[in-house]
Structure 1
């Protein structure tokens, strides 16, 4: 049975408080037995509406759980999604306070910048590429407002798919010779390579993740609009970071993007 509106609003407030205080909350699936994925997206929407009412603007979207390893870890068979607001975008080579997050990790991804809208439910990979203006190397700072990253799929969905912030590299105009599944990403922390991965790790093709997102958003009567970007999913596992760390990812043909945590 779906949670009542009052319970949805209370659960959303728990996550909002955790984000503001930097004190993680217990899993919502423990606090609310029977908490479903539908409940979770309703909680996510409450907090999105709150931020929009405060003057924030949706500038992008993220797809999470795109790799087989992450899906297996959480016992799920599908990705999830969240929103990216204007104040969640960090400049390349910026310095960010680590303590503004609860328990941050980083992931290397390809971001897609759209020149045409994508509206599901039948968007294809080919249509994603046709609608793409540019792509860029990117870092996602994933962060869980759930204590100890003790998350199930509904927990992370409610928590905006565990999105903290994103760092975008230089936009590279997309052309059909740029074969994204064949691109390799290297993730370096303090100059040491900690992980590598290929574009094929992202649902076989990062554009497949964008197509999945457009089709999933159709159930909420939402399209990916021109000028918005999509974080398509990680090429590697997510690595914890701490104050003092410098993180860089370099993706074949797209260049590098970096961030330092103070």
Structure 2
């Protein structure tokens, strides 16, 4: 049970939805609602997922955030969070995004997992995740906070769909042809200049560990993952701010390259 009633949850879900549509950030939800906890924040997120589905969008995947030790330390947490990915959030590789449609976007390179069979927790292991995965891809996530100046606590970012805005997927690589995912080297570039690098083990030691965490967390809400859905497993490097005129590129060793431009 959460201490926040349904009408308050609906009110703040509308505030975040309006902020997303207008690309106009709002004050942290926890400023007006200090009693907001993570359970209530996921209810706010769910309200906006249901709103999008009613409007005709389709759920195509999930994203995992807060997988790095520095980000967990920053927010004072010891586990990740998650959000949803809609078909309307998927940008083609090499495509463009209007910077004016976002509040304060950043980009981060990730490994995406695509499932060929369902996964449902609890008790899902890394081995279960790999067995259910048919392909992986180099990917970019565009994260964006509808909270002004990224002044987020954990409940704020959870309510705000884990600060997700868009994803860009590179070509899918059959899992059997992929390298050990914890050894993949990700190089993030802006305008052709390298801005950060990292390895797959930055994501909870192994990106599949993050996916296993997600499936087991979803079990608390009687939800699983379906064949054909993909999972953004978490950032391998820091998340870098982008501006109009930028092109962001992620090169992941033995997985390929993916890029997006901001106009």
TM-score interval (norm. to shorter)? over 0.9
Contact 2:64–2:233 (8 Å) recurs in 1: yes
Q: TM-score, normalised by structure 1?
A: 0.99
Following the alignment from structure 2 to structure 1, what is the Cα–Cα distance between the partners of residues 185 and 29?
36
Residue 81 (structure 1) aligns with: 82
Following the alignment from structure 1 to structure 2, what is the Cα–Cα distance between the partners of residues 139 and 16?
23
Runs of 4 or more consecutive aligned structure 1 residues displaced over 6 Å after TM superposition: none
Residues 176 and 191 (structure 1), Cα distance of their counterparts in 2 relative to 1, 3 Å cut:
closer
Following the alignment from structure 2 to structure 1, what is the Cα–Cα distance between the partners of residues 190 and 144?
17
Residue 235 (structure 1) aligns with: 236
For structure 2, list consecutive stretches of 5 or more residues without a partner in the other structure. none
Residue 150 (structure 2) aligns with: 149
Residue 55 (structure 2) aligns with: 54
Tell me by how many angstroms 1:178 deviates.
Answer: 2.1
**Alignment deviations for residues 223-253 of structure 1 (CA, whole Å, 9 cap, x no partner):** 1100000000000010000000000000010
Tell me by how many angstroms 1:174 deviates.
Answer: 0.2
Residue 3 (structure 1) aligns with: 4
2:112 counterpart SS class:
strand
Q: Any residues of structure 2 matched to 1:134-213 within 5 Å, and which?
A: 134-175=135-176, 178-213=179-214
Following the alignment from structure 2 to structure 1, what is the Cα–Cα distance between the partners of residues 154 and 34?
14
Following the alignment from structure 1 to structure 2, what is the Cα–Cα distance between the partners of residues 33 and 177?
45
Residue 106 (structure 1) aligns with: 107
Residue 95 (structure 2) aligns with: 94
Tell me by how many angstroms 1:176 deviates.
Answer: 7.5
Following the alignment from structure 1 to structure 2, what is the Cα–Cα distance between the partners of residues 33 and 169?
40
Contact 2:22–2:101 (8 Å) recurs in 1: no
Following the alignment from structure 2 to structure 1, what is the Cα–Cα distance between the partners of residues 25 and 249?
27
Following the alignment from structure 2 to structure 1, what is the Cα–Cα distance between the partners of residues 44 and 80?
18
Contact 2:178–2:255 (8 Å) recurs in 1: no
For structure 1, list consecutive stretches of 5 or more residues without a partner in the other structure. none
Following the alignment from structure 1 to structure 2, what is the Cα–Cα distance between the partners of residues 87 and 135?
21
Give the count of matched residue pairs.
262
Contact 1:82–1:160 (8 Å) recurs in 2: yes
Following the alignment from structure 1 to structure 2, what is the Cα–Cα distance between the partners of residues 229 and 74?
26
1:109 counterpart SS class:
strand
Contact 1:2–1:38 (8 Å) recurs in 2: no
Q: TM-score, normalised by structure 2?
A: 0.98
Residues 51 and 177 (structure 1), Cα distance of their counterparts in 2 relative to 1, 3 Å cut:
closer
Tell me by how many angstroms 1:209 deviates.
Answer: 0.3
Tell me by how many angstroms 1:69 deviates.
Answer: 0.9
Following the alignment from structure 2 to structure 1, what is the Cα–Cα distance between the partners of residues 226 and 201?
25
Following the alignment from structure 2 to structure 1, what is the Cα–Cα distance between the partners of residues 233 and 96?
24
Tell me by how many angstroms 1:177 deviates.
Answer: 6.3
